[in-house]
Chains A and B, each alone.
Chain A
Amino acid sequence: MRVRDRLIGIIPFLATIFFVAGIVHIVSVLAMPAVAPQDAVTRLSVVAPQGEGVVLLPAASPGREIMPYEDPSVALGFCRFDLSRGLYRVRTNIDGEHFIALSFHTRSGRVFYATTDRSALRGKIDVAIVNAAQLETLEANDPEDEPAPELRLLAPASIGFVLVRALAERPNELPSAEARVTAVTCAPDRPPQS
């Protein structure tokens, strides 16, 4: 009888442990993107603390990687955008032969859009990253009966980055892959005033 009483007495104690453990676990997982010191954006910022336009990352080699599991056959670059300073245009020409890929990320690294040269139209990738107000302004200025000249991408947050990947099929082609990364133009742009 006493054993049973003691077992019953320990139940609230165990329940408290599991309740607290569950909450701590969920909160710590959800909070990780906000508190992690080494996330991708922090690492990218170390390479280029300031500046607009595309920033080429150093080629991946032992001890010089910016991020884990980088592909040494891929030239990497990135552009930062901040829509509070106007919509952001990302453009590049496609040669139809070499792999180039753009991915659009929020500050936390989540992908909100991605494309490769395969899905480019008319030999170029032409993207405008916009917020809702900028999209309205753009659409108000669109000529009638004409498709929009660029792909308009409604960003889920006003700050983020675009990652550019260009594949070098052979190690000696890395410089030309890097040239294809730096050929991407990224720039903020004020919508035409009407």
Chain B
Amino acid sequence: MLGFLRGGFAALIGIALGLAVTFITLERGFGFGAVRAGPWTAWPRVGASDIDPYARAVLSRTGEIPLAAAQGIAFYARSDDAGIPLSGSCDYVVSGAVPASRYWTLTLTDPNGRLIENAAHRYAFTSAEVLRRGDNSFHIAVAPSARPGNWLPSEAAGRFVLVLKLYDAVASASPSGLAGATTPRISRGRCW
């Protein structure tokens, strides 16, 4: 009788532990196959037909439909170059070059992938509209209040995510070509 109770108790703990591990792994994102480049992370296999069960489980929970590998790739940044989480209490500058692609877009969302309302109705920049300097490099200011030039509004005091989507990216079909790709820098400026 005691053994039976102990077995049942162990099974209950096991069920709770198993569900907890599932919850934690799915909350952490797409799991395996991540490619990191500076502060950016991409999951190239999420848009391929050999998607792994973890990534499939995450997608079915969030409802996201990722870019297919033949179309492009998305990079996500939740922290700056120094590894500090992106916050609406700070100014940032996104600058530099983007991996070879036909178009790119830079979108600012909240941590759940939702756009953030702002008075300027500016949620993203595309490679075609961004103002560039003489040497073709770009400089996007991310801040809660207006900045001259390319300004992507963040929400004061809120956490946010920057999403860089490359369309018809040269390297999207081969994850090895993405590792160490030249991605834009995210440098933090003033905080208050």
Chain A bound to chain B: yes
Majority SS at the chain A contact face:
mixed
Total interface residues on B, CB under 8 Å, equals 58
Inter-subunit contact B56/A109 (CB<8 Å): yes
Q: Is A194 an interface residue (CB 8 A)?
A: no
Residues in B with CB closer than 8 Å to A114 are: 47, 68-71
Q: Is A23 an interface residue (CB 8 A)?
A: yes
Total interface residues on A, CB under 8 Å, equals 59
Q: Is A136 an interface residue (CB 8 A)?
A: no
List B residues at the A interface (Cβ < 8 Å).
6-7, 10-11, 13-15, 17-19, 21-22, 25-26, 47-49, 51, 53-54, 56-57, 59-72, 74, 76, 102-103, 105, 107, 109, 112-117, 123-124, 126, 128-129, 163, 165, 167-168
* B120 to A: closest C-beta gap in Å: 11
Q: Is A158 an interface residue (CB 8 A)?
A: no
Q: Is A1 an interface residue (CB 8 A)?
A: no
* B110 to A: closest C-beta gap in Å: 9
Inter-subunit contact B63/A38 (CB<8 Å): yes
* B127 to A: closest C-beta gap in Å: 8
Inter-subunit contact A17/B62 (CB<8 Å): no
Chain A's closest residue to B51 (CB) is: A110
Inter-subunit contact B105/A24 (CB<8 Å): no
Bits for A68-93, please: 1 = Cβ < 8 Å to B, else 0.
Answer: 11111110000000000000000000
Inter-subunit contact A169/B126 (CB<8 Å): yes
Chain A's closest residue to B129 (CB) is: A170
List A residues at the B interface (Cβ < 8 Å).
13-14, 16-25, 28-30, 32-33, 36, 38-40, 42-43, 60-63, 65-74, 99, 101, 103, 105, 108-116, 118-119, 163, 165, 167-171
Residues in A with CB closer than 8 Å to B63 are: 38-40, 42-43, 66-68
User: In the bound complex, what is the Cα–Cα distance between A109 and B47 (angstroms)?
Assistant: 10
